[in-house]
Amino acid sequence: MWKLSGRKIPHDMFAYVLSIDEYQRKVQLIGSRYFILMEFMLRPNAEVRQGSRVYVGKGLRQEVSKFVRYLSHEELSEQARMVLEDTVERAVREEEQFFVQFFNESLPITPKFHQLELLPGVGKKMVQKILEERAKEPFKSFEDIKNRTGLKDPARAIAERVMQELTVPQNVYIFVAHKKLFLEELME
């Protein structure tokens, strides 16, 4: 995964509410940076809405309390699946500086295949243009990437790749910390 070295397991500090089960007082969430799908218990008297951004890091959490489990896409409620794509795009746009760094730091996967090529709409010529431009000066924003490379909507390209990683098994995950990553860690 991009942004992780060695065997370090990612952790999202914030997440977006995808669905709420008021009866069981549970929420399904997606992490804001590593797109970890997870379920938490709601705190008593906590009021959250679908789309709310909540703190899920270590320490005192205002809206959620106990972590319940990691989820796969298949385990999401229908309500959660309906808002997933829009929520992913919102997260990418709100965490712009974090994801712009992908364009500045991405690496080759093999001598002939670059991480950038995993983005929808990015082929070898676009990869070359991105690499040339970032060598001149690091990218500062999605608008900067668009203006200097011609990639129409960098945020959308990342969001589309995230959706692919969430919904279809991949050989390479560059953005999503998938449930199986956490299960593998527990088995070691």
- Model confidence over 23-51: pLDDT tens digits? 999 999 999 999 999 999 999 989 899 99
Looking at the domain assignment, is residue 25 inside a domain? no
* Full domain range(s) for residue 144: 96-171
Q: How many CB atoms lie within 10 A of CB 180?
A: 12
pLDDT for the residue 143:
98
Q: Which residues pair with 108 in a beta bridge?
A: 114
Contact assessment for residue 92 and residue 85, using Cβ atoms and an 8 Å cutoff = no
Closest CA to 38 of 12, 60, 58: 12
Tell me which H or E stretch contains 96: helix 96-105
In this structure, what token pair is assigned to residue 122?
A: 């990015």
Count of domains observed in the chain: 1
CA distances from 70 to 27, 39, 40, 119, 147 (A): 12, 6, 9, 25, 38
Residue 129's identity, in one-letter code, is K
Report pLDDT digits (tens) over 56-114. 999 889 999 999 999 999 999 999 999 999 999 999 999 999 999 999 999 999 999 99
Looking at the domain assignment, is residue 125 inside a domain? yes
Looking at the domain assignment, is residue 67 inside a domain? no
Chain position carrying tokens 């995993």: 118
The separation between CA 128 and the C-alpha centre of its own chain, rounded to angstroms, equals 25
Q: At 132, which CATH number?
A: 1.10.150.280
Looking at the domain assignment, is residue 129 inside a domain? yes
Whole-structure pTM value? 0.91
Give the residue-averaged pLDDT of 120-131.
Answer: 96
pLDDT for the residue 9:
74
